[in-house]
Chain A
Amino acid sequence: GAVVSQHPSRVICKSGTSVKIECRSLDFQATTMFWYRQFPKQSLMLMATSNEGSKATYEQGVEKDKFLINHASLTLSTLTVTSAHPEDSSFYICSALKGKADEQFFGPGTRLTVL
C-alpha cells in the first residue's frame, strides 16, 4: 500500500492565531492531494484540491484566504488555517492521489481545537 502522514495529529491554539497542518506522501509522489474537514458525527467535506506547482482549487463556500494551501513538492501539501476561530475547530484530513489512475490514500487526520 501507500502511506500518507499528517502533522501534527492534534493541535490546540488560541483564537486569532494561525495553524499549519502538513500532509506528506511517504513512499510515493502525489501531484494531487485533497483536503477535507469533518465535524463530529458528520461526513467528510471536501475543502480543496491541491495540485503541485499550481494554485489550489477550492470548493464552493470555502474561503481561500482563510484556508491557505501550498503544494510545494510532490510529497508535501500544507493547509494553513489563518486567524483561527472556535468554529474552525474540526478534524482535518488529507488524501493523496497515487499515479494517474490509482486510489486515494488518506492521512490519519489532524484534530484542531481553537480556544
Chain B
Amino acid sequence: LAKTTQPISMDSYEGQEVNITCSHNNIATNDYITWYQQFPSQGPRFIIQGYKTKVTNEVASLFIPADRKSSTLSLPRVSLSDTAVYYCLVGANTDKLIFGTGTRLQVFP
C-alpha cells in the first residue's frame, strides 16, 4: 500500500481557500486517491475521490498531476466548521485503508 505524506497542521482564516497537498510517490496504477475529514470523536467522512486530473464536488476540488505522485485537496472559502483533521489515502477501493498522520486544519475567525 502506498504511503502518504501530508503537513501535520495548517492554519487559515474564514473565507480563505485552503490547499492541502499530499505526496504519494509509490502510488500504483490501480490506486485511487481519497480524502476524508474527521471531527473529534467522530468517524471519518468521505470528502472526495479521484484518479487523475481534476475532480470537483459540492464541497471540494481535488487536483492530481499527470504523474499522480501527489494530490491537492482544495477547500474554497473555509468556515470555522471546517476545522478538522483531513486524511489523504491511496489504494484500490477494495483495499484496506492505511491512514497516515493527517493534516490538522485550524480555521480562525
Contacts and interface: CB of A to CB of B under 8 A. Distances in A.
Q: Is chain B's interface secondary structure helix, strand, loop, or mixed overall?
A: loop
Contacts of A91: 41
A87 interface: no
B83 interface: no
Nearest to B32: A103
A108 B100 CA distance: 19
A86 to B, nearest CB: 19
B43 A111 contact: no
Interface of A: 4, 6, 32, 34, 36, 43-46, 49, 91, 93, 95, 97, 100-109, 111
Given A43-B101, A107-B43, 9 more contacts: A43-B87, A44-B99, A46-B96, A93-B44, A95-B44, A102-B93, A103-B49, A106-B43, A106-B44
